[in-house]
Amino acid sequence: MKDLAYLSGVSSVPLQQALRHLQTAFVNFFAKRAKYPRFKAKKKSRASAEYTSSAFRFRAGRLILAKMADPLDIVWSRPLPEGATPTTVTVIRDSAGRWYVSLLCEDPDVQPLAVTAAAVGIDVGLDHLLTLSTGEKIANPRHERRDRERLAKARRELSRKAKGEGANRRKARQKVARIHARIADRRRDVLHKLTTRLVRENQTLVIEDLTVRNMVENRSLARAISDAAWAEFRSMLEYKADWYGRDVVTADRFFPSSKLCSACGTLQPEMPLNIRTWACGSCGTTHDRDVNAAKNLLAAGLAASVCGAGVRPQRRTPGGQSATKQKTPRREP
């Protein structure tokens, strides 16, 4: 068919890989693990092509794809691990018009680290991106806020362009996309450094199971929560822990980490968000809200990992009576 003649201009492997991905999407849909597959939009979706080992040659740092005579002119971000052989190559063009080549290979340097007794509870927040049970607080870089004025100006310029396929509108759209890409790149760089450090230093890492999707429905905090990227932080922490033989324990989202005294176990009846420092009515200990929450998360995570999910820190109300039963910390599957 003449309408499909353009498909012969590229290797058949990326086309076959697209069909395999579609099959996987339908399998996940019928297994009720995902929603119904959506077609990729030409203008909005990330353009990519995946090549398996039969459709590319990689020799001495030179990459040649099927149906291409010359090697790609690539500026390598880092060399491949010594002795590693790529099994899959993915060529990507992002919304900012940047091209990337991603090579999938086995890295022999990624091995489980030596077992250590160190453990840490991690409380995420907005004033501070992370608060550790050790008392350390890691500042929130607020990447989006730093570029907010520039982004708003670029969006205003885009809105003034006539809608359609004009060159001016395309340039304005790419300008907006480049600012978003700059923000995302800086955010990802910070999260990679933080998660790598935490995984290398600690054997057990305890975090809270937050429903970020529901939290961003708060219009007052949605932008700040999205900029903090808690879900991306958790994802990085989990896969790096899996690489290096560490344990990530997830405390239940209903565990009252902020209202529980980490010194005596007293459960406070209320703890509004505007209270950042409070004193326990039973033992008199003064707590920093975030550090106290991190300590409680650590205690709950250690109890869950050692004795099972049914064990949790002792809790009681200021009057000495047992607190209402809460959902207990659990380990992610």
User: Higher confidence at residue 1 or residue 156?
Assistant: 156
Given 50, 144, 238, 290, the catalytic residue? 290
Q: 3-state secondary structure string, the chain?
A: CHHHHHHHHCCHHHHHHHHHHHHHHHHHHHCCCCCCCCCCCCCCCCEEEEEEHHHEEEECCEEEECCCCCCCCCCCCCCCCCCCCCCEEEEEECCCCCEEEEEECCCCCCCCCCCCCCEEEEEECCCEEEEECCCCEEECCCHHHHCHHHHHHHHHHHHHCCCCCCHHHHHHHHHHHHHHHHHHHHHHHHHHHHHHHHHHHCCEEEEECCCHHHHCCCCCCHHHHHHHCHHHHHHHHHHHHHHHCCEEEEECCCCCCCCECCCCCEECCCCCCCCCEEECCCCCCEEEHHHHHHHHHHHHHHHHHHHCCCCCCCCECCCCCECCCCCCCECCC
Active-site residue, selected from the candidate residues 50, 144, 208, 227:
208
- Whether 189 is a known active-site residue: answer no
Written as six digits, the tokens of 121 are: 């509870």
pLDDT band at 181 (very low <50, low <70, confident <90, very high): very high
Mean pLDDT of 190-217: 92
Assess whether pLDDT exceeds 50 at residue 332. no
290 is catalytic: yes
The reported pTM is 0.81
Provide the percentage of residues in the chain whose pLDDT is more than 70: 91
Q: Which of 61, 51, 48 is nearest to 11 (CA)?
A: 51
pLDDT (0 to 100) of residue 263: 87
User: Tens digit of pLDDT for each residue in 92-151?
Assistant: 998 888 999 999 998 888 889 999 999 999 999 999 999 999 999 999 999 999 999 999
Structure confidence at residue 322 (pLDDT): 34
Confidence of residue 307 (pLDDT cuts 50, 70, 90): low
Active site annotation includes 227: no
Identify the top-confidence range among 280-294, 300-314, 317-331: 280-294
Catalytic residue among 50, 123, 144, 238: 123
Distance of CA 52 to the CA centre of its chain: 27
